Amino acid sequence: MSTSAPEKVTNALLSVQDVHADVAGQPVLQGLSLDVREGEFVAVLGHNGAGKSTLLRALLGLTPTKSGSIHLRGEDITSASTPRIVDSGVALVPQQRGYFENLSVNDNLSFGERGSGRITRADVLEMFPILQTRGDQLVGTMSGGQRQMVAISIALMSSPDLLMLDEPSVGLQPNLVDTVMQVAQRLNAEYGMTVILVEQNIEKVLQVAKRVAVINRGRIMLDQPVEKVTADEIWRLL
């Protein structure tokens, strides 16, 4: 009898199998399965409260799972600590306040610095030129858009292989939404980074992502390459 793992576990960078997780005693993830291969750009959509942030938090070890498994490069990280998962190359830009208001931009970036150093401070500042002259500024005194750039920069300073962005464009001006989307796309295309993007803006998602997954009632209801889905189909599932 063969003892090898199923192909989708060994080939996927990330493999989420039948995960259940509660938040505040209520079931949120209810048998969620999702595989993400190296170099993919997957958008995760779902209505408010569907469990998108809970999924990303569970992947980073911030929300405990009740059952199911999470593998990274074939290694079981279901119960791994957050620092270990970050050291394995996973970074999250959280939905809110992924930065330290009372620290300068430079100190925020230093906080995120770890890992291989494949992505340098210069790389990050080249992606967000507005931050180049703001090194000593306290992040709490910056605009919402600039703060979000700092939050993404902190995540990038760990040179992640898998970058997870939780609604990074919410509340931003349209031009900044485009900046954030372009940076995500560039990280995927030029740096080969695998990206999971949680977003509400379906039209934008269909422009930048390669694959779309829709969460409803704590499970994946649709999982397709972007060219095989329309915005209308997605709306119907939300």
Ligand X SMILES: Nc1ncnc2c1ncn2[C@@H]1O[C@H](COP(=O)(O)OP(=O)(O)OP(=O)(O)O)[C@@H](O)[C@H]1O
| Shortest Å distance, C-beta 180 to Mg ion | 16
Identified binder of ligand X from the candidate list 13, 28, 60, 196, rule CB under 6 A: 28
Q: Please say which residue, 94 or 157, places its beta carbon nearer to Mg ion.
A: 94
3 binds, among Mg ion, ligand X, none (CB under 5 to 8 A by kind): none
User: At 141, phi and psi to the nearest 5?
Assistant: -95, 5
The neighbouring-strand residues paired with 43 are 197, 212
Contact call for residues 197 and 42 (beta carbons, < 8 A): yes
Partner from Mg ion, ligand X, none contacting 28, C-beta within 5 to 8 A by type: ligand X
DSSP 171: T
Q: Which stretch binds Mg ion (CB under 5 A): 34-42, 93-101, 110-118, 223-231?
A: 93-101
Partnered with residue 20 across adjacent β-strands are 30, 67
Stretch of 50-58, 75-83, 124-132, 143-151 contacting Mg ion, by CB under 5 A: 50-58
Q: How far apart are CA 220 and CA 214, in angstroms?
A: 6
C-alpha R_g of the chain: 17
**Under rule CB under 6 A, residue 211 binds ligand X:** no
Task: Give the nearest distance from C-beta 198 to Mg ion in angstroms.
Answer: 7
DSSP type of residue 50: S
Q: Of the candidates 17, 52, 184, 204, which one interacts with ligand X according to CB under 6 A?
A: 52
Interaction of residue 169 with ligand X, rule CB under 6 A: no
Question: Which token pair is 201?
Answer: 């803006």
Residue 53 interacts with Mg ion (CB under 5 A)?
yes
Minimum Å gap between C-beta 198 and ligand X is 7
In angstroms, how far is the first alpha carbon of the chain from the final one? 43
Task: Kindly tell me which residue out of 17, 54, 169, 194 binds ligand X, with binding defined by CB under 6 A.
Answer: 54
DSSP code per residue over 74-104? TEE-TT--HHHHHHTTEEEE-SS--S-TTSB
Distance CA 213, CA 137 (A): 38
Site residues (vs ligand X, CB under 6 A) = 23-24, 28, 46, 48-54, 95
Interface ranges with Mg ion (CB under 5 A): 52-53, 95
